[in-house]
Amino acid sequence: MTFTTLSWLFAAAVTIHNLEEAIWLPRWAANAGRYHVPVSARQFRFAVLVLTVAAWVVVMWSELGSRFADYLLSGYALAMLVNVVFPHLAATFGLRRYAPGTATAVLFNLPVTALLLQQAFAEGRIEPNTFLWAGPLTAIVIAMSIPVLFAAGGAAPPGPDT
């Protein structure tokens, strides 16, 4: 598969994964201890909506030929690859109960992100030396944006699921 095809599959995988989390994670997070901060459904759904839209925007930007977007996309893929293990697998095993998002993380995100990164290098879309710092930096920025998005979601007008 090409980087282009895998990019679109990545955005679809993120969407499916975030949908699973949006449905079940807010209630689960109330009792997840160190594996997830308690968060309202509105806050969490706002955050995953923004992150899902961001995935699609970065894929579209990459499709326009932006090398910068290729690095953003690859860094986002790295973040989702790490996300398979922490928190999903770690929480599922640590709590000895299913953590919402684990199935889609393992079934979709793991293979798609691994293949996307492999193909990005194979097609020369990203350079290893640049990705060594740009990939982790992108993943860190995404991780740091989550509490900000939770806060912004809490400031949004109340919805039916608050």
Q: Which one is predicted more confidently, 29 or 148?
A: 148
| pLDDT recorded at residue 29 | 83
| pLDDT recorded at residue 98 | 95
Sign of CA dihedral 12, 120, 112, 134: negative
Whether 126 and 74 have beta carbons less than 8 Å apart is answered as yes
State the average pLDDT for the chain. Answer: 93
Q: What is the band of 160 on the pLDDT scale with cuts at 50, 70, 90?
A: low
User: What residue ranges do the domains of the chain occupy?
Assistant: 3-155
Q: Reply yes or no on whether the pLDDT at 138 is more than 80.
A: yes
**Percent with pLDDT over 70 in the chain:** 94
Q: Residues 43-77: pLDDT tens digits?
A: 999 999 999 999 999 999 999 999 999 999 999 99
Q: Reply yes or no on whether the pLDDT at 161 is more than 90.
A: no
| pLDDT recorded at residue 157 | 54
